[in-house]
Amino acid sequence: MSLEQAMELFRRTGVMQEGHFKLTSGRHSDRYMQCARLFQYPAESAKVCTEIVEFFRDKNVDLVAGPAIGGIVMAYEAARILCTYKAGVRNIFAERENGVMTLRRGFQVEPGQRALVVEDVVTTGGSVKEVIELLHAQGVEVVGVGAVVDRSNGAVEFKAADSKIPFHAFAALNVESWEPDACPLCRQGLPIVKPGSRK
């Protein structure tokens, strides 16, 4: 799918929002990608996740993991699609407990498993990096990172030890963001919205 087609999909499903937003990273932006709206539509979600998963089809993935909340539904959908290539692919999600990313709800992983980590929107990649560290600490090999939107302007990298982890996003968008003290929208006095899940 071309970038123009992706943007049309984002507009049609209400993903692309405009205003004054405080991102999970703490930075401010005039656009926000509310990917939860995409996942209201199973047919559209399947198209997006299929395109992402195809990139990692040859990685022999055993497990798909995502950070809560943005990666929960996406991890399920990616694992469902991967099950058409390989039986038994599971999905789990990690969540913060006392500020630390952890596996709860009885989720378990095994050393030697091969994981794909997914997230709806990547800006700094902080949540994804926390999930990667969590999985590595338990002996899981992270073989890829997938996202619906990469809004890092190509700056984000994911690593395991000294090697780079392959990263593939459905759409890479050049969306400007600013540190709070350099935000032109703050200087204009525009009210800010914190739309993400992290308080």
Judged against a pLDDT cut of 60, whether residue 198 lies above it is answered with no
- The C-alpha atoms of residue 37 and residue 83 are separated, in whole angstroms, by 24
Provide the residue ranges of all domains of the chain, joining segments of one domain with +: 42-175
pLDDT per residue over 16-44, tens digit each?
Answer: 888 999 987 788 999 888 899 999 999 99
Lookup result for tokens 């919205």: 193
pLDDT per residue over 149-191, tens digit each?
Answer: 998 877 899 998 778 999 999 999 887 889 999 999 999 999 9
The CATH number that domain 42-175 falls under is 3.40.50.2020
Amino acid letter, residue 139: G
Average pLDDT, the chain: 92
pTM of this structure: 0.87
State residue 80's pLDDT score: 97
Percentage of the chain lying above the pLDDT 90 cut: 74
H-type helices in the chain, by residue range?
3-13, 42-54, 72-82, 126-137, 184-187
Q: Is 181 buried (19+), middle (13-18) or exposed (0-12) by CB count in 10 A? A: exposed
